[in-house]
Structure 1
Amino acid sequence: MAPAPHVEPPQRLVRSLGADSPWLAELPELVRESMTRWDLTVERVVAPGGRGSLVLLVRRADGAPAALKLCAAGAGAEAAALARWDGHGAVRLLDAAPETGALLLERLHAEISLRSLPEAKANLEAVSALRRLWVPPAPPGAAHPFTTVAEHTARAVDRIREHIPKEARPLAGEALELRSALLADATEELLLHGDFRQGAVLSADPGRAHWLAIGPEPLVGERAYDLARLVRDRLHDLGATSGAASLTRRRVRKLADSLEVDRDRLRGWCLYRAVESASRQIAAGNRADGEMLLEFAGWL
């Protein structure tokens, strides 16, 4: 095994966590631990990377390529979801040390996501990947470790009420009412990706499905919740077109029909998730992004 290299975290990660993040200070040691545990040689850091994790391209002892992902917030749920999917529709988990937030993954083409395709083709491939991900969260009779959509969304209720601006309070109220109604009569309990979008689906090597999902934030709930994030993909491009509202509603219809999801339930979760994301952006000081998300919610 080669000596542990100096690892420079990408600026996106530094900005997201803060330059004084204790986790960033621990990164060199976390890299060394993972290199020792799995006998790895580091090639390079993937940039710009994510906002909550560092990904390095590595080689295993036999020379096989892999990717090492170190997660700032822990990796237990992600590891469990990837193990459950076992490479079907998602990147394959080779090994994991959840206690240190480390995942050893098959290497995909980090520079080629569905966002490199025209929108219609990208959505077609996204739908294909999602079909493979929506499975029961555990074998029959077994318990699962995942948070439910009800539990996850409950954590955002106070933030929505506090941070959505006064002029958008009616929209926030509608979002919260929709959440309650959708949860009250939900009938599905499937394993969801949780953050499924075009940028989270990467190209794979020959012999595998061409497109595989990465970076799940797994939840258990209904398909419409998972699909809702995809509806607002390429949001700034959508906002720059004429007739954005009608195009948005058309997206809802097409994506719902392609996956046999109820249109009204998809529209409801789209609106809720846009408002929830807007509250998070505004709370973080990203008011322009928050306002764009509220505008999207209004189109619905």
Structure 2
Amino acid sequence: MVGSLLRQLHGVPAPDGLPRLGAVLAEMLEQAPAAMATLDREDRSRLDRWVRRVGELEAEPGDRLLHWDLHYGNVLSADREPWLAIDPEPLVGDPGFDLWPALDSGWSADPTVTGAPRLVRRRFDLLTELLDLDRDRAAGWTAAHPLQNALWDIEDGYAAIAAPAQAIDDALASPGRPLR
């Protein structure tokens, strides 16, 4: 259901005047060096890897309409459509950036759930296939979300990367590896 909604949204030309992923990314990359100083060595290494990964994609931020927060809690059943996406934070960018919320849904309330890496990779596989996305590029854009979340958390006084972000990152560390 989330994949079908994302496919619909990404198929719509983005209207003028919406925030652009390139600008959001530039702000994140500017904030990252100062944020790294607050983290321990392991988290700093992870954040640095995300910065490098999304930095590689910075030149091609995309031009599609994105939801920015389409997780399962933002999907409703309706009479006029089988499913409706609600509470959008419209953004213009690469569809790979929109995958994170669907990967960070349900299981992540308890990141110790057995099989979480397999579930994350399976969702990632299904979404990249349904949306016809290059897996490596989508994994790179997916790294932008935990980078953004970590920067927000650090701004709010937290000094560690959240466990669900670590779990999803670990699960996608080798996105080219077959799931089966």
TM-score if structure 2 supplies the norm length?
0.80
In structure 2, what is the Cα distance between the partners aligned to 1:244 and 1:211?
26
Q: How does 1:40-189 map to 2 (within 5 A)?
A: 125-134=1-10, 135-138=12-15, 144-164=16-36, 165-167=39-41, 168-186=43-61, 188-189=62-63
Q: Work out the number of aligned pairs and report it.
A: 168
C-alpha displacement of 1:287? 5.8
Identity of aligned residues (%): 30
CA RMSD of aligned residues (A): 2.3
Could you report, residue by residue, the CA deviation over 1:256-300 in whole angstroms, capped at 9, with x for unpaired residues?
012211111121122221132123123324567724323432332
Q: Compare 268-277 and 255-264 and name the one that shifted more.
A: 268-277
Find out whether 1:192 has 2:66 as its counterpart.
yes
Kindly name which structure, 1 or 2, has the bigger radius of gyration based on alpha carbons. Answer: 1
Query: Which SS does the other structure have where 2:84 is aligned?
Result: strand
User: After the TM superposition, which parts of structure 1 deviate over 6 Å for at least 4 consecutive aligned residues?
Assistant: none
Alpha carbons of structure 1 residues 269 and 294: separation in structure 2 relative to 1, 3 Å: same
**Structure 2 stretches lacking a partner, 5+ long:** 173-180
Find out whether 1:267 has 2:139 as its counterpart.
yes
In structure 2, what is the Cα distance between the partners aligned to 1:179 and 1:275?
9
**Structure 1 stretches lacking a partner, 5+ long:** 1-124, 139-143
Alpha carbons of structure 1 residues 283 and 298: separation in structure 2 relative to 1, 3 Å: farther
In structure 2, what is the Cα distance between the partners aligned to 1:299 and 1:282?
23
Aligned 8 A contact 2:97 2:144 in 1: no
1:216 maps to what in 2? 88
Q: Which protein has the bigger strand share?
A: 1
TM-score if structure 1 supplies the norm length?
0.50
Q: Which protein has the bigger helix share?
A: 2
Query: Which SS does the other structure have where 1:137 is aligned?
Result: coil
Of 234, 243, 257 in structure 1, the residue corresponding to residue 129 of structure 2 is 257
Alpha carbons of structure 1 residues 267 and 242: separation in structure 2 relative to 1, 3 Å: same
